[in-house]
């Protein structure tokens, strides 16, 4: 086997994996990956700041409906399996179907003139470190995972040995849509028994990153370590804050602050010794990115960074961050060391604060609320936000959603297990919890306005300084959240959402509707909760949500909104509009890609 690698290739073999490619590029330096990407991947260019800009093809976001987990003896009783109305992302496939997909991927990779291999690590904690191997066709994918995993030193690469998790990325080759368990030409499948992931029919790089995270979401809790979809930073006196939130809630932005060293922006674990980052890099949304509002991220996009599905301006090669011609989900991947104040190694003590972020398109939740332990568990499990444009295929405007543990698409165990582990750690270490709304104020989407980043940062600063722990609070009806009545840098009326609306009847109707959505969503986790945390804890968690008797009284008094609409000016798209949305986006993407290549 012909191997190009910066270290010795002695002992490096892949034949036992079924791979015997003509040429292997293993853990190449950044500059060499640039050369090969520019040579072999149309549409790839170098931007004015030195980043590698490329395109992921037809898929510009994750494909959660095509995710499969193999039902296997030894793990099938541990996985939270998808069932009608369960909310689980873990749709099953049998082992034979997985192996057939794996064989398809191997056949395709073996037919190529060359493949790229990146061997790296997940988890900054030495005791929890996992060896990961990525095998892919594209140089851009190899560079992406070189950023997102922890890069081995030359000595560590020489001694890498056998990987503990392998990703076979044959994303340019389609899955057989007529095969068992397939729903389209895309398949993203994980086998816990084989410790492997197979990707077919999508070249979106985020599938690899989240595949590693999904595996960590199984393996770490099995080892008694809590895995979290969160950002994390630390103050100069060692006060760690965890930021939970889905894409578009501000998790990456708020955890990347110049005055607080960054531990990580997206994936962490909380073990007996404190917290540690799973990843070696960051994957930031960059639609609308500006140097004055997010300087740390802006500066990180330089040589070695990957820009995914952005538009680049003609001969100047300047990035047009405001453009969504290809997708709203434009992304930047870069090593965490590109953040000037990153904390290396990416580990920290036990958190002092937990911040649950949501983007409330209804505009009824306060900008900040103080949570009890029960409320923290309830809202952690609920994972309320609004899907924002571009984070998944077909989403082009805000849509209300609930995602368990602020990352339901990646959970392997039942959400109650993660919540119980979180509560145990918070109670043991005296961690405080907050719900922060980075969404709308003064009205629902289409009427109100989005909370400014400046004011949200003022709230986060007040949490860190202890200001919000000391001020008086007022209770939010139905939810029982304790809302601070003052916060430096935020107008008093914006802290109390009913005052910001100016129409109390409309506010109460919308609040009632949202409370009912919370209650209805949470039912899916109650049926088998006793099997995971016991009936007593499940009932305790339930007390952290909207009060049932008060909700019925409000529904009798205030006419609730119908269906899932946000209001006449902010309703989600109809099913018909959703169906035509992806086709229109794809057509626009083809035109934009042609313009990019022509430039």
Residues identified as active-site:
62, 210, 229, 247, 251-252, 266, 331
Phi, psi of 219 (to 5 degrees): -70, -40
Nearest to 197 by CA among 70, 282, 301, 90: 70
Q: Residue 174 carries which DSSP code?
A: P
- Map residue 12 onto helix, strand or coil: coil
186 vs 102: CA distance, rounded Å: 13
Taking a C-beta distance cutoff of 8 angstroms, is the pair 151, 280 a contact? yes
Q: Is the alpha carbon torsion for 530, 435, 351, 247 positive or negative?
A: positive
200: its two tokens: 């077919």
Nearest to 177 by CA among 257, 91, 269, 97: 97
42 vs 524: CA distance, rounded Å: 46
Q: Give the CB-side neighbour count of residue 22, counting CA atoms within 13 A.
A: 6
Nearest to 383 by CA among 87, 27, 182: 87
CB within 8 A of 206, min separation 6: which ones? 61, 62, 283, 331
392 vs 285: CA distance, rounded Å: 13
Burial of 205 (0-12, 13-18, 19+ CB in 10 A): buried
Distances in Å between the alpha carbon of 540 and those of 372, 392, 398, 543, 552?
Answer: 11, 34, 32, 5, 20
Phi, psi of 155 (to 5 degrees): -65, -40
Q: Could you tell me the strand order of the sheet in which 45-46 lies?
A: 45-46, 52-54, 306-308, 331-335, 281-285
Phi, psi of 542 (to 5 degrees): -65, -30
């Amino acid at each position: 086997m012909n191997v190009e690698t910066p270290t010795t290739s002695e002992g490096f073999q892949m034949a036992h994996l079924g791979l015997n490619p003509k040429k292997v590029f293993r853990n190449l330096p950044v500059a060499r990956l640039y050369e090969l990407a520019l040579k072999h991947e149309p549409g790839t260019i170098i931007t004015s700041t030195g980043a590698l800009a490329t395109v992921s093809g037809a898929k510009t976001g994750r494909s959660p409906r095509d995710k499969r987990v193999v039902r296997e003896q030894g793990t099938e009783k541990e996985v939270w399996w998808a069932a009608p109305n369960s909310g689980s992302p873990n749709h099953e496939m049998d082992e034979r179907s997985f192996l057939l997909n794996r064989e398809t991927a191997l056949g395709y990779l073996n037919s190529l003139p060359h493949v790229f291999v990146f061997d790296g690590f997940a988890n900054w904690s030495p005791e929890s470190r996992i060896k990961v191997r990525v095998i892919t066709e594209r140089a851009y994918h190899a560079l992406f995972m070189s950023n997102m995993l922890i890069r081995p030193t030359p000595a560590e690469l020489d001694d890498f040995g056998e990987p503990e998790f392998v990703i076979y990325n044959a994303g340019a080759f389609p899955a057989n849509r007529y095969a068992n368990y397939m729903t389209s030409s895309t398949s993203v499948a994980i086998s816990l028994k084989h410790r492997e992931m197979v990707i077919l029919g999508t070249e979106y790089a985020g599938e690899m990153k989240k595949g590693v995270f999904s595996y960590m979401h199984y393996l770490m809790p099995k080892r008694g370590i809590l895995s979290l979809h969160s950002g994390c930073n630390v103050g100069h006196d060692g006060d760690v804050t965890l930021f939970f939130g889905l894409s578009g809630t501000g998790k990456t932005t708020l955890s990347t602050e110049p005055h607080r060293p960054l531990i990580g922006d997206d994936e962490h674990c909380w073990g007996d010794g404190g917290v540690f980052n799973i990843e070696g890099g960051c994957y930031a949304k960059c639609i609308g990115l500006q140097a004055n509002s997010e300087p740390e991220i802006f500066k990180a996009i330089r040589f070695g960074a990957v820009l995914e599905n952005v538009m680049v301006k003609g001969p100047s090669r300047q990035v047009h961050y405001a453009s969504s011609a290809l997708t709203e989900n434009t992304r930047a991947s870069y090593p965490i060391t590109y953040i000037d104040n990153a904390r290396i190694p990416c580990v920290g003590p036990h958190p002092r604060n937990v911040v649950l972020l949501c983007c409330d398109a209804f505009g009824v939740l306060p900008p900040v609320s103080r949570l009890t332990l029960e409320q923290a568990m309830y809202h952690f499990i609920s994972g309320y936000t609004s899907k924002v444009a571009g984070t998944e295929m077909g989403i082009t405007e805000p849509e209300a959603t609930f995602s368990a543990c602020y990352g339901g698409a990646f959970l392997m165990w039942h959400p109650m297990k993660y919540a119980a582990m979180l509560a145990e750690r918070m109670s043991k270490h005296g961690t405080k919890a907050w719900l922060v709304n980075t969404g709308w104020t003064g009205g629902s989407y289409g009427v109100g306005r989005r909370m400014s980043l400046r004011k949200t940062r003022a709230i986060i600063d007040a949490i860190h300084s202890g200001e919000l722990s000391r001020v008086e609070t007022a209770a939010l009806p139905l939810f029982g959240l304790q809302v601070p009545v003052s916060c430096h840098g935020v107008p008093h009326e914006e802290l109390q959402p009913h005052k910001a609306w100016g129409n109390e009847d409309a506010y109460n109707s919308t609040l009632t509707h949202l409370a009912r959505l919370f209650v209805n969503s949470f039912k899916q986790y109650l049926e088998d909760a006793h099997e995971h945390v016991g009936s007593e804890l499940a009932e305790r968690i339930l007390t952290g949500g909207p009060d049932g008797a008060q909700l019925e009284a409000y529904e009798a008094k205030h006419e609730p909104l119908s269906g899932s609409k946000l209001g006449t000016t902010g309703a989600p798209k109809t099913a018909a509009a959703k169906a035509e949305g992806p086709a229109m986006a794809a057509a626009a993407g083809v035109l934009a890609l042609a313009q990019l290549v022509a430039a």
